[in-house]
Amino acid sequence: MRILAAHKALGVIFLCLLLLGVWLTYAIFSKKFADYDEVSLQTSKIGLQLPQRADVKVRGVIVGEVLEFESDAEGAVLTLGLYPGEIDTIPADVTGSIVPKTLFGEKYVSLEIPEGSQTGDAPLEVGQTIERTDVSIEVEKVLSDLYPLLRTVQPAELNMTLNAIATALEGRGERLGENLETLDAYLKRLNPQVPQIIDDLRLTAQVSDTYADVMPQIARILRNTITTTGTLEDRDAKVRALYTDVAAFASTSRDFLDTNGDNLIRLGDVSAQQLRLLARYAPEYPCLLEGIVNAGVRQAEAFRGFTLHIVLETLPNQPRGYNASDTPRFGDTRGPTCLHLPNPPFDQENPVRTQPDFDDGVDEPTGKGTSRVAPSWGSGAGFEGSTAEEQMLKSLLAPGLGVTADDVPDLGVLLVGPMARGAEVSLR
């Protein structure tokens, strides 16, 4: 019994050792005891034929394995296990690419180091995610997409088409090569202009959008043009007559310009000086015109009922008369000024006391010079008994006598003169 128990124990130990050997073989094969530096690879898809434990290569050298992969909302995430020490030789800006080993073979992950990156740059870190990934085109997908096309195309028709192409190209290889070289030259010259062409196409799209927005208005204008054209067609005779009149007017205008062209040019030259003067006094025109309007209101009041209504007062001290030396001249150099226009404050009760000081060419004391002050009596001016006094008295006596000033007798002047001197006379 003791020997049988020992045999049973040996059998159990043997089975345990056998199972342990099988598990160790599996663990070694599946690299359970291997140590990795894990990083993640983000990709939109992984395609077909990417096996578990697929190789991870850098420049053709195996640096790790694909430990696992799983899908998420953005595609798929691959967990890459890099061999210890290899992660320090891979720069942080590395990109991933899932490519097949052969045309129909299984795939592996190729880590692509960008140009310009150096080994001494910042290395890839444990747990980092490689986000940029390129996936090669699936040959199976290409064949699947090509299969319906191959089923649709008839072999006889395809053969006929290929024969026609071969016949068309036969003997024209040299010319075709020249054309391809010419096309290549055109494309080389065109390539630098591609960005500008793209911008032009983008602007063309914007212009097209603008035209699309205004197309209803353009259509309405075209419809209105049709209506206008119909109206002109209905009034063809009147339009022809209008053109005839315009042609006649143009002929008359041409004759007028031929005859008076020099005069018009001369008129422009002569008018230049007047226009410069008018331009200088342009600021004065508004108040002057408004003053004329206000004066018109006063004149209408004075001439109401077609009768002059004024109060005429003579100066108590009359100035001397004008003589040959009093030659009027325009000596006002003040420029544009409105003075008290358009609403002067002066009237019969508030007369002008001080006249503007400007040179009009008349010497004092006529009352028309710069001071405007007439000489007083006894100043030696000799106004008493002068011809000027006689003419003034005759003009005052004429209405009362019912005769003209020239018919007033000198005796009346002699009698009235002493009484009128120094008195204020009102003529109504």
- The mean pLDDT of the chain is 78
Q: Where are the alpha helices (DSSP H) in 365-408?
A: 387-401
Q: Which residue has the tokens 């019994």?
A: 1
Q: Which residue has the tokens 């434990």?
A: 53
Q: Which residue has the tokens 């940029």?
A: 132
Residue 309 banded pLDDT, cuts 50, 70, 90: confident
Which is more confident, 164 or 148?
164
User: Going along 289-428, which residue ranges are E strands?
Assistant: 312-313, 426-427
Determine the average pLDDT of the residues in 394-408. Answer: 79
Tokens of 204: 């063309």
For position 203, what pLDDT does the model report? Answer: 92
Tokens of 350: 């508030």
Taking alpha carbons only, the member of 353, 375, 352, 354 closest to residue 364 is 375
Q: How far apart are alpha carbons 76 and 135 in whole angstroms? A: 12
Which is more confident, 203 or 49?
203
CB 340 within 8 A of CB 290: no
Q: What is the dihedral of CA 382, 383, 385, 388, to 10 degrees?
A: 130
Output phi, psi for 373, to 5 deg.
-100, 125
pLDDT tens digits, one per residue of 250-293: 999 999 999 998 888 888 888 888 899 889 999 999 999 999 99
The pLDDT > 90 percentage for the chain reads 11
Q: Which of 93-97, 164-168, 231-235, 397-401 has the lowest mean pLDDT?
A: 397-401
Q: How far apart are alpha carbons 69 and 76 in whole angstroms? A: 7
Q: Please check the confidence at residue 141 and state whether its pLDDT lies above 80.
A: no
CB 111 within 8 A of CB 95: yes
Q: How far apart are alpha carbons 275 and 281 in whole angstroms? A: 10
Determine the average pLDDT of the residues in 26-50. Answer: 72
Other residues' Cβ atoms within 10 Å of the Cβ of residue 168:
10
Start-to-end CA distance of the chain, whole Å, equals 178
Which is more confident, 102 or 226?
226
Q: How far apart are alpha carbons 254 and 257 in whole angstroms? A: 5
Other residues' Cβ atoms within 10 Å of the Cβ of residue 56:
26
For position 42, what pLDDT does the model report? Answer: 81
Which is more confident, 38 or 134?
38
Residue 246 DSSP class: H
Q: Please check the confidence at residue 132 and state whether its pLDDT lies above 80.
A: no
DSSP letter for each residue of 131-181: --EEEPPPHHHHHHHHHHHHHHS-HHHHHHHHHHHHHHHTT-HHHHHHHHH
Determine the average pLDDT of the residues in 117-124. Answer: 70
Q: How far apart are alpha carbons 40 and 64 in whole angstroms? A: 12
Residue 348 DSSP class: S
Residue 86 DSSP class: T
Tokens of 308: 């002059």
The model's pTM: 0.32
Measured in whole angstroms, the distance separating CA 298 from the mean position of its chain's CA atoms is 55
For position 375, what pLDDT does the model report? Answer: 39
Determine the average pLDDT of the residues in 163-175. Answer: 85
For position 376, what pLDDT does the model report? Answer: 39
Residues making up the chain, counted from first to last: 428
Q: Please check the confidence at residue 390 and state whether its pLDDT lies above 70.
A: yes
For position 51, what pLDDT does the model report? Answer: 78
Which is more confident, 3 or 236?
236
Which is more confident, 140 or 51?
51
Cα angle 45-112-135, degrees, rounded to a multiple of 5: 20
For position 380, what pLDDT does the model report? Answer: 40
pLDDT tens digits, one per residue of 335-384: 888 888 888 888 777 777 766 666 666 655 554 444 444 433 333 444 56
Taking phi first (over 0 means left), then psi (-120 to 50 degrees means alpha), and beta for anything else, what does residue 95 get? beta
Q: How far is CA 153 from CA 149, 194, 310, in A?
A: 6, 37, 119
Q: How far is CA 124 from CA 60, 68, 93, in A?
A: 18, 19, 8
Q: How far apart are alpha carbons 325 and 312 in whole angstroms? A: 29
User: Going along 288-340, which residue ranges are E strands?
Assistant: 312-313
Which is more confident, 10 or 315?
10
Q: How far apart are alpha carbons 229 and 235 in whole angstroms? A: 10
Other residues' Cβ atoms within 10 Å of the Cβ of residue 63:
21
Tokens of 280: 């200088």
> Beta 129-130 vs 107-112: how paired, if at all?
unpaired
pLDDT tens digits, one per residue of 213-237: 999 999 999 888 888 888 888 888 8
